Amino acid sequence: GAVVSQHPSRVICKSGTSVKIECRSLDFQATTMFWYRQFPKQSLMLMATSNEGSKATYEQGVEKDKFLINHASLTLSTLTVTSAHPEDSSFYICSAIPGGAFYNEQFFGPGTRLTVL
């Protein structure tokens, strides 16, 4: 099956620093990737849609200057949390959709646990 990886799986950083999270589709090309945020014991909230070669589309209420998304290739999207603060601590999950059919299944990465001290 299609595999999506995320790196790192866990990161701890100091308040005010920036953190980059990578999402890779390992065995397929992903024209579209999504970034989600999951708070403890809560659901996944869509943050943004990332399309290769174009600017990401952010959901309402998500600060685009805080959460920078770059989808530079068909297998890699990155999420950079800029000037991180403790309230940015969360579980970040990406998903990727292979190109093609009229509706495609999303394949999810294992997630990245971000802790901001």
Partner 1 sequence: AQSVTQPDIHITVSEGASLELRCNYSYGATPYLFWYVQSPGQGLQLLLKYFSGDTLVQGIKGFEAEFKRSQSSFNLRKPSVHWSDAAEYFCAVAERGGGNKLTFGTGTQLKVEL
37 in Cβ contact with 47 (< 8 Å) = yes
Neighbours of 66 (CB within 10 A): 14
16/110 with CB nearer partner 1: 110
Q: How far is the CB of 43 from partner 1 (least distance, A)?
A: 4
Q: How far is the CB of 87 from partner 1 (least distance, A)?
A: 20
Q: Determine the Cα–Cα distance for residues 53 and 48; give it in Å rounded to an integer.
A: 15
Name the residue type at position 57.
T
Q: How far is the CB of 17 from partner 1 (least distance, A)?
A: 25
61/86 with CB nearer partner 1: 61
45/82 with CB nearer partner 1: 45
Binding site for partner 1 (CB under 8 A): 4, 32, 34, 41-46, 49, 93, 95, 97, 103-111
77/84 with CB nearer partner 1: 77
Q: Is the peptide bond before 8 cis (omega within 30 degrees of 0)?
A: yes
Q: How far is the CB of 14 from partner 1 (least distance, A)?
A: 26
Neighbours of 113 (CB within 10 A): 14
Strand partners, 107: 96
